[in-house]
Structure 1
Amino acid sequence: MSLSISTIGSGARKSTLRQSSLMQAGFVIVGLVLLAALLAPLIAPYDPNAQQMNIRLAAPSASHWLGTDGFGRDILSRIIYGTRTTLLLVGLVALLMAPLGVTIGMTAGYFGGFVERVLMAITDIVLSFPRLVLAFAFVAVLGPGLINGALALAFTSWPAYARQARAETRAIRHSDYLAAAEMGGIRGLRLLFGHVMPMIMPSAIVRLALDLGGMILAAAGLGFLGLGVKPPTAEWGSMVAEGTQVIFDQWWVAAIPGGAVLLTALGFNLLADGLRDWLDPRHG
């Protein structure tokens, strides 16, 4: 019995250590990306939009560590400045998507009845469309741009938060905690945002953290299809699209920004897994 308990304890410690190491790796990757975005003017060796046609498609060298693109622009500088575009787009999506979804779901779960049926019907309609296809169509109608891309991704991503918030709100709707608050005269919006929302926010934060990696890939997808920010602004997805034209001869033009997308999404996913284990005890 003691051997069995010791074995289980050792396995748990190894699992915790592994989770902690992965979370630390994610924290380092995300920290480096954030640092690059903040210090881009200081650490980028060249102007990201400066064209030098005499050195176009140059291979990585001492003067251009990651080579140059089809317009002779330094790829390293564009990768560094591209972190700003990607993080700004993802940040705008997160600020729009999560509050909208949580508010709709919380309202539906608290009031129930006709309000719940209408709000959940709208949620199901949006959820029934393929997310990326709807986002691409939305941007195609509004036109490419940072704000339009953020609106498109936010508009197609909020239903999952609404359904989760609605389920959690219904679970606590008749709890003693809320009953005591109502007896104290707290009702309406004050009850919703002051007492219900704090109880459902941890799970919403966990979901948001887990979605960040997917948002980065979706943002890169918009840029790849020419529906993201307008050129010549540095953006990883559009850089990959430009590099696919010469991928067999100058592979680094597409591979390097593609690697930046992959590494950043991986970092956010690793960090989100650790955050989920920390905030949600059911996954501990």
Structure 2
Amino acid sequence: MTSASSKPWLVEDGLWERIEPLLPVVERRFRYPGRRRIDDRRVLCGILFVLYTGIPRRYLPQELGFGSGMTCWRRLRDWNEAGVWQRLHELLLAELRSAGMLDFSRAAVDSSHLRAMKGGPATGRSPVDRGKTGSKHHVIVEAHGIPLAVSLTGGSRNDVTQLIPLIQAVPPIRGRSGRALRRPRRVYADRGYDHDVYRDKVRRFEITPVIARRGAEQGSGLGVHRWVVEGAVALLHWFRRLRIRWQIRDDIHQALVTLGCAIICWRRLKTSV
């Protein structure tokens, strides 16, 4: 099964070669085998179809051969619980570092609101959406805009409270001999993160905070380094399933977000070949 530009949900051979070893092995029962298990690669295509198109899983077209929406949901859940999506993201980050495509001289953080249609954990009244129930994606990227970590909180959560958790969420990135990458030298943020207590906390990680001051004139020049995180948020929301939160379970939405980050990393990696 190969990819086509018009069908980005079809899993490319190179991507599948990286994902398949990460999937847990499920032994088939012999006494009561039941219905034959649908091929993992086809189910992954179904998961990506939902991620790209935003279609409710129950409406997943059966003629595409990806299995039912419930099958895709269960595999997404089981693979997330097995740590597949996080390990895939870390694997691709390591390959990007090996290719010389990661720059930890600086990082940038930002957040974006999204409507949470069914409520659930990690939701809250959104101050930018007339108090409607929503969530936030909090994103940290390296200098080129490659996503390093994304967290999910309620829509009312103050951005600055997630600054340290985002820094801590950056995984150790290997790919080369020597010490793994973990901490950028500087972290850039907008006025929403302007708080001296958190500047001090960032410095304890031996990272220099470069955060815009409230009340300062526009045109500080920091946007030259911050725009990359806005681009990463736009790429995440290019996956239609991530524009609105339809899942009640926060872990399922987080799984889709992490998978989206991995796909973005895979696209970047392909440009180095």
Common fold, TM-score beyond 0.5?
no
TM-score, structure 1 as length reference: 0.25
Normalized per residue, which structure has more strand? 2
Normalized per residue, which structure has more helix? 1
Q: Which has the larger radius of gyration?
A: 1
- Quick one: higher RCO (CA 8 Å, sep 6+), 1 or 2? 1
